[in-house]
Amino acid sequence: MYSPTQLFLIYSGLFFAALVFSLLINSVFMRFARTLGMREEDQNLVRWSSTAKPSFGGICFYILFLASFSLYGVIFPGLSVDALRPDLLGLLAATSLGFLMGLADDAYNTNPVLKFLAQVACGGILIASGSCIDLFDSQWANVALTLFWVVGMMNSINMLDNMDGITTSVSIAVLIAGLMSMLVIGPVDPVYMVLLVGTMAALTGFLFFNWNPSRMYMGDTGSQFLGVFLAFVGIRFFWNAPSIEGHWEPIRQVISAITLFLLPIVDTTVVTITRIRRGRSPFVGGRDHTTHHLSYAGFSDGQVALVFIGLSLLHVFLTFVMARYIPVWQNIHTTIFVSYAILLFLTLFILTRRTHAPKP
């Protein structure tokens, strides 16, 4: 229908239009509403910043996600029926549930059990609509791994949202990698392209308000929506992605997914181990994340964000190398990438053992 040049202009125009809209709507939120997500007394959440700020970022994410979904039929009128595929309708339902649950949590601080059940339901919706990790011969094992992945990613993204600009930057990198996977491995699906470009623009516009010193948080509204959406991106473009030669290589698929999402995985793992060792619940907030310990080591908040941006871009590059320049996966490749993951984990874990919060 369109030439490559026309498609590039269409996606570029979509990105910049969504970026402008994101900046505009977040500016409106900042001007007219300043209380959603501001918890004066919250025993379950400990913000790095001591200043209460509105948590509106997630609302803009969801609005632009829906707008991108709707605009697909306008941009590609002859292919509008593609937007009604089961996997896309499942994604729409799962992200909507994640968004609503996060919105309720920002407004009312919902029961943790109810929140967990909603996260499991999000994973169940994705599975029922065909977005399930296909790694084992046993379908039950695939379902269990998918549920673990979705629930784990929703919580990891939520936990990573503990300092200005961190989760936003990491999420943008994941979406860039999703676009890269489609372009390198193929096929390029216009629906996914529109959704990824639109959401990436929403995050980029929000980053203007979320960069240190931030004026706005994404809140659980944003982190729960992103958790579902990024989990879906991981399933579609990494867990279930063949090699560029069309080979089905489970080890490559596992390592590529873990490498791309290594920062939220490592942060959650380190925090969980640290809190359990101290006899604390992993689900009770605290200033003991890897980002916080980088600050204790002498980095400013902006420098911590730049470190995470650099590592995120490195992981995008590594997944690109896996997809584009390794036609056949071998044991040496497994050794290299697993060694890097272990090195990063140990570095951040040792950092949390060697640095401590300054005494008041």
> Does residue 34 have a pLDDT over 60?
no
Residues 6+ apart with CB under 8 A from 293: 348, 351, 352, 355
Q: Domain boundaries in the chain? A: 4-354
DSSP structural state of residue 211:
S
**Token output for 68:** 């991108």
Answer yes or no: is pLDDT of 1 > 80.
Answer: no
Per-residue pLDDT reduced to its tens digit, 306-338: 999 999 999 999 999 999 999 899 999 999 999
Residue 200 pLDDT exceeds 80 = yes
Mean pLDDT along residues 161-180: 94
Among the listed residues 190, 224, 204, 250, the one whose alpha carbon sits nearest the alpha carbon of residue 68 = 190
- Tokens coding 96: 């909507």
pTM of the model: 0.91
The set of residues, in sequence order, having a beta carbon less than 8 Å from that of 333 and lying 6+ positions away, is: 252, 255, 322, 326
pLDDT averaged over every residue in the chain: 88
44-53, 92-101, 299-308: which range is least confident on average? 44-53
- Where do runs of H (alpha helix) occur along 76-111? 86-108
Rg (C-alpha) for the chain, rounded Å, is 20
Give 55's strand partners: 217
Tokens of 133: 């990790």
What is the pLDDT confidence band of residue 32, given thresholds at 50, 70 and 90? Answer: low
For the ranges 80-94, 176-190, 302-316, which has the lowest average pLDDT? Answer: 80-94
Dist CA 114 CA 13 (whole Å): 40
Angle formed at CA 23 by CA 8 and CA 262, multiple of 5 degrees: 70
Output the pLDDT for position 41: 43
How far, CA to CA in Å, does 76 sit from each of 8, 21, 84, 85? 14, 21, 13, 15
Q: What is the rounded distance in angstroms from the CA atom of residue 126 to the CA atom of residue 146?
A: 9
Angle between helices 166-184 and 139-160 (to 10 degrees): 140
Asked if residue 244 has pLDDT above 60, the reply is yes
pLDDT of res. 44? 44
Distance CA 201, CA 19 (A): 5
Residues 178-205, mean pLDDT to the nearest whole number: 92
Helices (H), 109-189: 112-128, 139-160, 166-184
Rounded to an integer, what is the distance from CA 50 to the centroid of its chain? Answer: 25
35 has a pLDDT exceeding 70: no
Confidence grade of residue 360 (pLDDT, cut at 50, 70, 90): low
Q: What pLDDT score does 215 carry? A: 84
Per-residue pLDDT of 40-59, as tens digits, reads 444 444 455 545 667 778 89
Q: What is the dihedral of CA 133, 134, 137, 138, to 10 degrees?
A: 30
pLDDT at 39: 46
Say what percent of the chain tops pLDDT 90: 61
Q: Give residue 43's pLDDT.
A: 42
The whole-number average pLDDT for the span 60-84 is 83
Mean of the pLDDT values across residues 8-30?
88
pLDDT for residue 182 is more than 60: yes
Give the tens place of pLDDT for each residue, 209-240. Answer: 999 888 888 889 999 999 999 999 999 999 99
Considering Cα of 118, then 124, then 126, then 128, what sign does the dihedral take? Answer: negative
